[in-house]
Structure 1
Amino acid sequence: IYTNPNFQKSDLTLDALAQLADVPNVQYLKDASSNTGRLLTLRNRVGDRLKLFSASAHIPLAVMLIGGVGWMAGPACLIPRQSVQLYELARAGRWEEAMGLQSQLWQINELFAKYALAACIKAGLQSQGFAVGDPIPPQASLSPTARQEIEAFLSQR
C-alpha cells in the first residue's frame, strides 16, 4: 500500500489499514503523510503484519527506530550508498552513528520538499550521468537555481 494524502487528497484510516493488514498479500505500507506518530500508532495496532517503509516526507531513521523496514523514496535514488549505510547502521542498532549520517543526508529531503519530487529525482540522476529526461507534464523541470542546489548537495557526497 502507498499512502500519500497530500496528492491523493484523502487518506486511509487506521481502521482501514488495520483491516488491510489482515489480507495475506498486503504486507507493506509506504507512507508519505509526514505523520510519524500515526505510523507508531499503526505499528502498535498491527505489529509486524504490516511492515513500514519511510517515504521522503518522514525522517527515515525515525521510521526505522519504531520498527520500519526501510526507506523507499526519491532521495534514496540519488544517494543509494548512503541510504544503504543508513539502513545498515539502523539494523545494527548503531543509532548515534546513524543519526549523524541522517543529519548529513536530511538536506536532500528538504530539497525534495522545497521543489517538485519528480523534477528533483530527474535532475539529480541527470547530474550523475543518467539520461532520464525531463518530468512529464504537468510537472515542470527544475529551475537552473534549483538544479544547482541539488547538484551542490550531491557533489558533497
Structure 2
Amino acid sequence: MSMSTIWHGVLPAITTPFDADLAIDHAFVAQHVRWLIDNGCNGIIPCGSLGEGATLSFDEKVALIRTCVEAAAGRVPVIPGIAALSTDEAVRLARASADAGCGGLMVLPPYVYSSDWREMKAHVAAVMSATTLPCMLYNNPPAYKTDFSAAQVAELAAEHGNLQAVKESSGDSRRVTALVALLGARVRVGVGLDDMVCEGVAAGAEFWVAGTVNALPRESVIQFELAKAGRWDEAQALYRWHLPLLRLDTVVKFVQLIKLIQQEAGMGNERVRPPRLELVGAERDEALAVIRKALREKPVV
C-alpha cells in the first residue's frame, strides 16, 4: 500500500481564539493558520483538546474547519479532531469535514463514556468508515481512559485501509517502539506530547502533533527537524531551552498555559471558555515567570 505523505513533520493542534464575547475569532484563526504554515508546519489540526473542542458546538466546529481549509488554501492538509459524545455525531462531523475539503481526520475514542475494546473499536470504526479520508487514530490513555494497544491498532489497520497513522500520547516511548516494530511498514507513528518529542523521534516517530508550536512554530519545526536528522547534540541544546515550555502542554491547564504563551509571544490572547477560567494570582505569576524567561532566552534559529 502506498503511504500517504500527510503524516510527517510538525502538525499543530491549534488553539481556538475567542473574542471578548467568547465567540470564535475567525479572522485571527485565518491569520494564525497562515503564520504556522509560513513557519514550516505541515498540517493544521483544529477541534482537538487544545482547541477546546468539547466547548464548541457542532456548527461552530464546522465553521472553524471551513475557515482553516480556506486559510490553508491547499498548502497543507487540515486534519480536524473528530470527538463527540455520541458515535452518530462523530460520524456526522467526519462527513462534514470531508465536505469542507479536509485532507485527513484525527479520530478520537468515545468522549466521556470509556469502555471496553469492543465498544471503542465500534466507535472509531464507524468514524473511519464514514469517509475515504486518511485517518490518524489518537491514543491518549491519561486523558480519555481508553488505551489502544499496538495489537489493537494492527487489527483496526487490517480492516480499515484509510487508517494510516497513530498519534501516541501515552507518555511511554516504548509504545512508539512497539507500534513501529509491529506496524512501521503500514502505519505511521507520531508523538503526541510536547515534552516527548526527542524521545518519540528516537523511537521511530515520523511526525509530531504539537501544542506550544502555536506560539513558537519556527523553533518547534527546527527542534523536530534536528531530531529527525539525528543531529542530537543540536537537538538537545534546543530541547533544554524548550523543555520548561513544552512541559506546560502536559498538565491539566495546558490550554490556558499555551494561550498565555501565545499572548506573551504576541500571537493570540489568553481567553478561554468556561468551565476553563483564565489563570490568576500566584499560578499565573509562576507561569508567566517560566514563559518570560524562556522567551528572553530564546535562541536564534
Say whether the fold is shared (TM-score over 0.5). Answer: yes
Q: How far apart are 1:58 and its partner, in Å?
A: 4.7
How far did residue 114 of structure 1 move?
4.7
Residue 185 of structure 2 aligns to a residue whose secondary structure is: helix
Structure number with larger C-alpha Rg: 2
Residue 12, structure 1, aligned to residue 153, structure 2: no
Which amino acid letter does the alignment assign opposite residue 13 of structure 1?
A: S
Letter in 1 for 2:291: I
Deviations 1:100-135 (A, max 9, x none): 222221111223335611111211111122344512
Q: d(CA) in 1 for partners of 2:297 and 2:252?
A: 20
* Residue of structure 1 equivalent to 2:240: 103
Name 1:141's counterpart in structure 2.
Answer: 278
Query: What is aligned with 2:200?
Result: 63
Q: Is 1:29–1:53's contact at 8 Å kept on the other side of the alignment?
A: yes
Matches within 5 A, 1:66-145: 66-114=203-251, 116-143=253-280, 144-145=284-285
Q: Deviations over 1:35-67 (max 9, x none)?
A: 111111111111132212212265201111122
**Distance in 1 (alpha carbons) for counterparts of 2:216 and 2:288:** 16
* Contact 2:169/2:192 (<8 A) preserved: yes
**Which residue is equivalent to 1:28?**
165
CA shift, 1:74, in A, is: 0.9
TM-score w.r.t. the length of structure 2 is 0.48
Q: Partner amino acid for 1:154?
A: L
Between 1:108-117 and 1:65-74, the stretch displaced more is 108-117
| Residues matched between the structures, number | 157
Match of 2:292 in 1: 151
Aligned to 1:52: 189
Percentage of matched positions with identical amino acids: 29
When normalised by structure 1's length, the TM-score is 0.86
Could you tell me which runs of 5 or more consecutive residues in structure 2 were left unpaired when the two chains were aligned.
Answer: 1-136
Query: Is 1:3 aligned to 2:144, yes or no?
Result: no
Unaligned runs of 5+ in 1: none
| Contact kept in structure 2, 1:53 and 1:63, CA below 8 Å | yes
